[in-house]
Amino acid sequence: RSRLRCLLFRAMLPLVATNAEFKELHKHFTTRSDNPLKKKQSLIALCGKLVRILYTLGTQQKEYDPVAVLGPVRIAQLQRAA
């Protein structure tokens, strides 16, 4: 498990730097007014999101959809925060 956590964390660093959806989520998690997360806490939360996304893509045989990743509720939250 510790190797998996380490691998996910190392994969998340360039993903947050290059992927627009994960970058927006990271920004939202660290700058939200109620309960802002520290940067490392945000990255760990995004690691969990990545696991859920990969599981869904693998089990349902779907392609990556940025709108589905964020979801309509999260998109509304990000627009209000901006």
Report domain extents, the chain: 2-81
Please list, in sequence order, all residues whose beta carbon lies within 8 angstroms of the beta carbon of residue 27, skipping any fewer than 6 positions away: none
Q: Is the pLDDT of residue 51 over 90?
A: yes
**For a pLDDT cut of 90, what percent of the chain falls above it?**
49
Q: Is the pLDDT of residue 19 over 70?
A: yes
What's the mean pLDDT when you consider all of the chain? 88
What span, in angstroms and rounded, lies between the C-alpha atoms of 52 and 82?
A: 26
Say which residue, 43 or 28, is predicted with more confidence: 43
pLDDT on residue 82: 63
Please list, in sequence order, all residues whose beta carbon lies within 8 angstroms of the beta carbon of residue 50, skipping any fewer than 6 positions away: 8, 11, 12, 15, 22
Residue given tokens 């990545």 in the structure block: 50
Contact assessment for residue 16 and residue 26, using Cβ atoms and an 8 Å cutoff: yes
Residue given tokens 């691998």 in the structure block: 7
